[in-house]
Structure 1
Amino acid sequence: MNPQTFDEYWLGYLAGHSKPSTRFIHYLGLFFAPIAGIAASFLVVWWAFLVIIPFFYVAAFLTHPFLDHNSNKPFADRPLWSAIALLRMLALDLTGGLGRQLRRLNDVAR
């Protein structure tokens, strides 16, 4: 996978996060856990984010080999695009638009 455009990257990213369980753990680990960790560091103990964020990041990282049976290497090569794709995936999932993108992915794979 050597995408030349963000749209090509997006389709590969979506294919690598095709299972709902993978997406859910990624949302927790890469979006909601940092927010919760920062909030806990202010509300509970200052070092809470040092425990919460790495734990959930590792959980999100491990979904690739154990749930989706793929590698996160293609996504790690483009960290900015990866972050944008995660936020796009989350926004589309929250607004009900992800199904259309998943159908598009299936159409391209045929």
Structure 2
Amino acid sequence: MAHGDPPVTPRTFADFWPHYLREHARPATRALHYAGTALSFAAAAPALAFGGWWWAAVPVAGYAFAWSAHLAVERNRPATFRHPIWSLLADYRMFFLWLAGRLAPHLAKAGVAPR
């Protein structure tokens, strides 16, 4: 979706998924998301072990990287603001598909050109 396009209103997660990938078209955006997601998992370990303030680090780690990617790299509005649950699920799906080396076909199907 370009800057002037109206927001997409998906009815299902399956409809949202390609939109999410198009909103993360630049490799640097995805890389910052991967870093934030990995850090949020790393922050979850002490949060589970010790509780307390560690829980605050989990969303801060993930969203700080993701939102900065949208602001500085992709120059679009994070999907989290419109679809928070689907956005979180899509972030995890993108992360684990990337880890498994299986993200490229999903990007291609969504119309995201390899860069």
Taking structure 1 as the reference length, what is the TM-score of the superposition? Answer: 0.74
Q: 1:41 to 1:82 in 2, by over 3 A?
A: closer
Note the C-alpha offset of 1:105.
1.3
Cα deviation 1:35-73 (Å, max 9, x = unaligned):
322445689xx756656852553232111121012111x
CA RMSD of aligned residues (A): 2.6
Q: 1:104 to 1:37 in 2, by over 3 A?
A: same
Q: 1:94 to 1:77 in 2, by over 3 A?
A: same
- State how far apart, in whole Å, the 1-side matches of 2:47 and 2:12 are: 39
Percent identity between matched residues is 30
Q: 4+ runs of 1 displaced by more than 6 Å?
A: none
- State how far apart, in whole Å, the 1-side matches of 2:48 and 2:109 are: 42
Partner of 2:15: 8
- State how far apart, in whole Å, the 2-side matches of 1:13 and 1:68 are: 12
Question: Does 1:97 find its partner at 2:102?
Answer: yes
The answer for unaligned runs of 5 or more in structure 2 is 1-7
- State how far apart, in whole Å, the 2-side matches of 1:10 and 1:3 are: 9
Note the C-alpha offset of 1:87.
1.3
Query: Which of 57, 63, 68 in structure 2 is aligned with 1:57?
Result: 63
Q: 1:42 to 1:2 in 2, by over 3 A?
A: closer
- Identify the structure with the greater helix proportion: 1
Query: Which of 50, 64, 74 in structure 2 is aligned with 1:68?
Result: 74
- State how far apart, in whole Å, the 1-side matches of 2:20 and 2:12 are: 12
Taking structure 2 as the reference length, what is the TM-score of the superposition? Answer: 0.71
The answer for unaligned runs of 5 or more in structure 1 is none
Count of matched residue positions in the alignment of Structure 1 and Structure 2 = 104
